[in-house]
Amino acid sequence: MHATRILIASVFMLCWSPAVAAWGPNGHRIIGQIAENNLTDAAHKGIAELVGRASLAQIGTWADEIKSDPAWRHASPWHYVNAPPGQDIETASKSPRGDVIEAILRFERVLRDPEADRKERAEALKFLVHFVADVHQPLHVGYASDRGGNDIRVRWFGESTNLHAVWDEHLIEHQRLSFTEWVRFFGHAEPGEIEAWRRSTVWDWARESRSMLPAVYDHGGSRSDRTPYLGYDYIFKHHDGVKKRLLQAGIRLSGMLNDIFASP
Protein backbone atom coordinates (compact mmCIF):
# COMPACT_ATOMS: atom_id res chain seq x y z
CA MET A 1 0.00 0.00 0.00
CA HIS A 2 2.73 2.36 1.10
CA ALA A 3 4.86 1.46 -1.93
CA THR A 4 1.91 2.02 -4.22
CA ARG A 5 1.44 5.49 -2.82
CA ILE A 6 5.09 6.32 -3.34
CA LEU A 7 4.82 5.00 -6.87
CA ILE A 8 1.73 7.09 -7.56
CA ALA A 9 3.41 10.16 -6.08
CA SER A 10 6.54 9.64 -8.17
CA VAL A 11 4.57 9.16 -11.36
CA PHE A 12 2.60 12.28 -10.54
CA MET A 13 5.76 14.28 -9.98
CA LEU A 14 7.35 12.97 -13.17
CA CYS A 15 4.28 14.02 -15.13
CA TRP A 16 3.95 17.37 -13.48
CA SER A 17 5.70 20.14 -15.30
CA PRO A 18 5.66 23.85 -14.66
CA ALA A 19 3.56 25.90 -17.05
CA VAL A 20 5.54 26.36 -20.21
CA ALA A 21 6.25 29.79 -21.45
CA ALA A 22 5.68 30.45 -25.10
CA TRP A 23 6.74 29.10 -28.43
CA GLY A 24 9.75 27.06 -27.29
CA PRO A 25 13.24 28.46 -27.86
CA ASN A 26 13.28 27.18 -31.44
CA GLY A 27 9.94 28.76 -32.31
CA HIS A 28 11.27 32.11 -31.11
CA ARG A 29 14.56 31.59 -32.94
CA ILE A 30 12.76 30.71 -36.18
CA ILE A 31 10.61 33.84 -35.98
CA GLY A 32 13.59 36.00 -34.99
CA GLN A 33 15.69 34.66 -37.87
CA ILE A 34 12.92 35.22 -40.43
CA ALA A 35 12.58 38.79 -39.18
CA GLU A 36 16.37 39.25 -39.24
CA ASN A 37 16.42 38.14 -42.90
CA ASN A 38 13.83 40.77 -43.80
CA LEU A 39 15.26 43.84 -42.09
CA THR A 40 16.27 46.97 -43.94
CA ASP A 41 19.82 48.28 -43.54
CA ALA A 42 18.51 51.11 -41.38
CA ALA A 43 16.78 48.66 -39.06
CA HIS A 44 19.89 46.46 -38.83
CA LYS A 45 21.85 49.53 -37.86
CA GLY A 46 19.33 50.76 -35.29
CA ILE A 47 19.10 47.31 -33.72
CA ALA A 48 22.91 46.93 -33.58
CA GLU A 49 23.10 50.20 -31.67
CA LEU A 50 20.88 48.66 -28.98
CA VAL A 51 21.98 45.03 -28.77
CA GLY A 52 25.32 44.93 -30.60
CA ARG A 53 26.00 41.89 -32.73
CA ALA A 54 23.20 39.75 -31.27
CA SER A 55 20.66 38.65 -33.89
CA LEU A 56 16.90 38.70 -33.41
CA ALA A 57 17.07 34.90 -33.22
CA GLN A 58 19.25 35.26 -30.13
CA ILE A 59 17.42 38.03 -28.31
CA GLY A 60 13.94 36.54 -28.89
CA THR A 61 14.27 34.05 -26.02
CA TRP A 62 15.37 36.54 -23.35
CA ALA A 63 11.80 37.23 -22.16
CA ASP A 64 11.46 33.53 -21.26
CA GLU A 65 14.91 33.33 -19.67
CA ILE A 66 14.05 36.05 -17.13
CA LYS A 67 10.90 34.23 -16.01
CA SER A 68 12.70 32.60 -13.10
CA ASP A 69 14.03 35.96 -11.91
CA PRO A 70 11.72 37.25 -9.13
CA ALA A 71 12.54 40.80 -10.21
CA TRP A 72 10.68 40.11 -13.47
CA ARG A 73 7.71 38.24 -12.02
CA HIS A 74 5.42 41.12 -12.97
CA ALA A 75 6.21 40.45 -16.64
CA SER A 76 4.64 36.96 -16.80
CA PRO A 77 1.10 38.12 -17.77
CA TRP A 78 2.55 40.01 -20.74
CA HIS A 79 3.03 36.77 -22.72
CA TYR A 80 -0.65 36.09 -23.43
CA VAL A 81 -4.17 37.48 -23.43
CA ASN A 82 -7.25 35.49 -22.51
CA ALA A 83 -10.97 35.87 -23.12
CA PRO A 84 -13.84 33.49 -22.30
CA PRO A 85 -15.06 31.21 -25.11
CA GLY A 86 -17.40 33.03 -27.46
CA GLN A 87 -16.19 36.44 -26.41
CA ASP A 88 -14.18 38.74 -28.67
CA ILE A 89 -10.72 39.67 -27.53
CA GLU A 90 -11.44 43.38 -28.08
CA THR A 91 -14.40 43.56 -25.75
CA ALA A 92 -13.29 41.06 -23.08
CA SER A 93 -12.16 42.58 -19.79
CA LYS A 94 -8.37 42.68 -19.62
CA SER A 95 -5.98 41.88 -16.81
CA PRO A 96 -4.85 45.02 -14.95
CA ARG A 97 -1.42 43.36 -14.86
CA GLY A 98 -1.10 43.71 -18.63
CA ASP A 99 -1.32 41.30 -21.56
CA VAL A 100 0.48 40.49 -24.79
CA ILE A 101 -1.41 43.03 -26.94
CA GLU A 102 -0.96 45.85 -24.46
CA ALA A 103 2.73 44.90 -24.04
CA ILE A 104 3.43 44.97 -27.79
CA LEU A 105 1.86 48.43 -28.13
CA ARG A 106 3.66 49.69 -25.01
CA PHE A 107 7.13 48.47 -26.07
CA GLU A 108 6.61 49.79 -29.58
CA ARG A 109 5.99 53.23 -28.03
CA VAL A 110 9.17 52.97 -25.95
CA LEU A 111 11.22 52.08 -29.03
CA ARG A 112 9.82 55.07 -30.89
CA ASP A 113 10.37 57.42 -27.95
CA PRO A 114 13.44 59.60 -28.53
CA GLU A 115 13.50 60.40 -24.80
CA ALA A 116 13.82 56.75 -23.72
CA ASP A 117 17.36 55.77 -22.76
CA ARG A 118 19.36 53.06 -24.49
CA LYS A 119 18.91 50.40 -21.80
CA GLU A 120 15.17 50.91 -21.73
CA ARG A 121 14.97 50.74 -25.53
CA ALA A 122 17.17 47.61 -25.67
CA GLU A 123 14.82 45.92 -23.20
CA ALA A 124 11.79 47.10 -25.17
CA LEU A 125 13.30 45.59 -28.34
CA LYS A 126 13.90 42.23 -26.66
CA PHE A 127 10.35 42.14 -25.30
CA LEU A 128 8.85 43.21 -28.63
CA VAL A 129 10.68 40.48 -30.58
CA HIS A 130 9.35 37.93 -28.11
CA PHE A 131 5.76 39.12 -27.79
CA VAL A 132 5.08 39.57 -31.52
CA ALA A 133 5.94 35.86 -31.72
CA ASP A 134 3.77 34.92 -28.73
CA VAL A 135 0.63 36.63 -30.04
CA HIS A 136 0.87 34.42 -33.15
CA GLN A 137 0.69 31.23 -31.03
CA PRO A 138 -3.08 30.51 -31.00
CA LEU A 139 -3.12 29.35 -27.37
CA HIS A 140 -1.55 32.63 -26.24
CA VAL A 141 -4.87 34.21 -27.19
CA GLY A 142 -6.84 31.58 -25.35
CA TYR A 143 -9.10 30.87 -22.39
CA ALA A 144 -8.17 31.64 -18.78
CA SER A 145 -10.22 28.63 -17.64
CA ASP A 146 -7.56 26.17 -18.87
CA ARG A 147 -4.64 28.64 -18.81
CA GLY A 148 -4.29 28.65 -22.58
CA GLY A 149 -4.38 24.85 -22.80
CA ASN A 150 -1.71 24.33 -20.09
CA ASP A 151 -4.35 22.42 -18.08
CA ILE A 152 -5.44 20.21 -20.99
CA ARG A 153 -3.53 17.00 -20.52
CA VAL A 154 -2.77 15.14 -23.76
CA ARG A 155 -0.55 12.34 -24.98
CA TRP A 156 1.93 13.36 -27.62
CA PHE A 157 2.62 9.96 -29.17
CA GLY A 158 3.57 8.12 -25.94
CA GLU A 159 4.50 11.13 -23.87
CA SER A 160 2.28 12.83 -21.31
CA THR A 161 2.18 16.58 -21.93
CA ASN A 162 -0.40 19.34 -22.42
CA LEU A 163 -2.07 21.05 -25.35
CA HIS A 164 -0.19 24.30 -24.79
CA ALA A 165 3.20 22.57 -24.94
CA VAL A 166 2.15 20.77 -28.12
CA TRP A 167 1.76 24.18 -29.76
CA ASP A 168 4.77 25.85 -28.11
CA GLU A 169 7.15 23.03 -28.89
CA HIS A 170 6.10 19.55 -30.01
CA LEU A 171 4.59 20.47 -33.38
CA ILE A 172 7.82 22.28 -34.25
CA GLU A 173 10.31 19.89 -32.65
CA HIS A 174 8.70 16.90 -34.34
CA GLN A 175 10.40 17.98 -37.57
CA ARG A 176 13.82 17.66 -35.99
CA LEU A 177 15.16 20.67 -37.86
CA SER A 178 17.49 23.25 -36.37
CA PHE A 179 16.07 26.76 -36.44
CA THR A 180 18.40 27.68 -39.32
CA GLU A 181 17.31 24.61 -41.29
CA TRP A 182 13.68 25.45 -40.63
CA VAL A 183 14.16 28.99 -41.91
CA ARG A 184 16.05 27.75 -44.98
CA PHE A 185 13.28 25.26 -45.80
CA PHE A 186 10.16 27.26 -44.97
CA GLY A 187 11.15 30.80 -44.02
CA HIS A 188 10.35 32.54 -47.30
CA ALA A 189 7.18 34.43 -48.15
CA GLU A 190 5.93 35.77 -51.48
CA PRO A 191 6.08 39.56 -51.96
CA GLY A 192 2.26 39.63 -52.10
CA GLU A 193 2.02 37.78 -48.78
CA ILE A 194 4.60 40.02 -47.17
CA GLU A 195 2.69 43.10 -48.21
CA ALA A 196 -0.70 41.74 -47.14
CA TRP A 197 0.52 40.36 -43.81
CA ARG A 198 2.26 43.57 -42.85
CA ARG A 199 -0.87 45.58 -43.61
CA SER A 200 -2.53 44.52 -40.34
CA THR A 201 -2.61 45.48 -36.68
CA VAL A 202 -1.73 43.68 -33.47
CA TRP A 203 -5.47 43.23 -32.94
CA ASP A 204 -5.73 41.43 -36.29
CA TRP A 205 -2.88 39.08 -35.27
CA ALA A 206 -4.67 38.27 -32.01
CA ARG A 207 -8.00 37.74 -33.80
CA GLU A 208 -6.33 35.33 -36.24
CA SER A 209 -4.88 33.33 -33.34
CA ARG A 210 -8.28 33.27 -31.72
CA SER A 211 -9.96 32.02 -34.89
CA MET A 212 -7.62 28.99 -34.90
CA LEU A 213 -8.77 27.78 -31.48
CA PRO A 214 -11.69 25.52 -32.57
CA ALA A 215 -9.30 23.48 -34.74
CA VAL A 216 -6.56 23.58 -32.06
CA TYR A 217 -8.98 22.04 -29.52
CA ASP A 218 -10.37 19.52 -32.01
CA HIS A 219 -8.08 16.65 -31.06
CA GLY A 220 -9.87 14.09 -33.19
CA GLY A 221 -7.18 11.49 -32.46
CA SER A 222 -8.75 10.99 -29.03
CA ARG A 223 -9.05 7.33 -28.02
CA SER A 224 -10.95 5.52 -25.35
CA ASP A 225 -8.35 6.07 -22.58
CA ARG A 226 -9.80 9.59 -22.06
CA THR A 227 -6.49 11.45 -22.32
CA PRO A 228 -6.56 12.72 -25.92
CA TYR A 229 -3.88 11.12 -28.07
CA LEU A 230 -2.20 13.48 -30.50
CA GLY A 231 0.03 12.12 -33.20
CA TYR A 232 0.37 12.06 -36.97
CA ASP A 233 -3.27 13.07 -37.61
CA TYR A 234 -2.89 16.20 -35.52
CA ILE A 235 0.49 17.05 -37.07
CA PHE A 236 -0.93 16.60 -40.56
CA LYS A 237 -3.92 18.79 -39.76
CA HIS A 238 -1.82 21.63 -38.34
CA HIS A 239 1.42 21.45 -40.31
CA ASP A 240 0.51 24.30 -42.66
CA GLY A 241 -1.02 26.40 -39.86
CA VAL A 242 2.09 26.23 -37.68
CA LYS A 243 4.29 27.07 -40.67
CA LYS A 244 2.10 30.03 -41.57
CA ARG A 245 2.01 31.43 -38.02
CA LEU A 246 5.82 31.28 -37.66
CA LEU A 247 6.28 32.89 -41.07
CA GLN A 248 3.67 35.60 -40.48
CA ALA A 249 5.17 36.45 -37.11
CA GLY A 250 8.66 36.85 -38.59
CA ILE A 251 7.47 38.91 -41.55
CA ARG A 252 5.32 41.18 -39.40
CA LEU A 253 8.06 41.63 -36.80
CA SER A 254 10.47 42.74 -39.52
CA GLY A 255 7.82 45.11 -40.91
CA MET A 256 7.30 46.67 -37.52
CA LEU A 257 11.04 47.07 -36.86
CA ASN A 258 11.72 48.42 -40.37
CA ASP A 259 9.10 51.04 -39.70
CA ILE A 260 10.37 51.92 -36.22
CA PHE A 261 13.97 52.23 -37.35
CA ALA A 262 13.26 53.91 -40.69
CA SER A 263 15.44 56.94 -41.19
CA PRO A 264 13.30 60.04 -40.68
Binding-site ranges for ligand ADE (CB under 6 A): 19, 79-80, 82, 139-140, 142, 144, 147-148, 150
Residue 22 binds Zn ion (CB under 5 A):
yes
β-pair partners for 229: 155
Residues 118, 50: contact at Cβ < 8 Å? yes
Distance CA 197, CA 178 (A): 25
Residue 157, Cβ neighbours under 10 Å: how many? 12
Decide whether 23 or 194 has the Cβ nearer to Zn ion.
23
Decide whether 194 or 212 has the Cβ nearer to Zn ion.
212
Q: Which does 147 bind (CB under 5 to 8 A by kind): Zn ion, ligand ADE, none?
A: ligand ADE
How many chain residues interact with Zn ion (CB under 5 A)? Answer: 5
Decide whether 19 or 48 has the Cβ nearer to ligand ADE.
19
Residues 34, 185: contact at Cβ < 8 Å? no
User: How many Cα atoms within 13 Å fall on the side-chain side of residue 120?
Assistant: 12
Minimum distance between the CB of residue 227 and ligand ADE, rounded to whole angstroms? 20
Taking alpha carbons only, the member of 185, 182, 183, 162 closest to residue 174 is 182
Decide whether 26 or 194 has the Cβ nearer to Zn ion.
26
Decide whether 129 or 194 has the Cβ nearer to Zn ion.
129
Q: Which does 56 bind (CB under 5 to 8 A by kind): ligand ADE, Zn ion, none?
A: none
Minimum distance between the CB of residue 247 and ligand ADE, rounded to whole angstroms? 21
**Binding pattern for the stretch 115-154 against Zn ion, x by CB under 5 A and - elsewhere:** -------------------x--------------------
User: What is the DSSP code string of 93-157?
Assistant: PPPTT--HHHHHHHHHHHHH-TTS-HHHHHHHHHHHHHHHHHTTSGGGG--GGGTTTTT-EEEET
With contacts defined by CB under 5 A, name the span among 19-27, 47-55, 87-95, 211-219 that binds Zn ion.
Answer: 19-27
Residues 245, 215: contact at Cβ < 8 Å? no
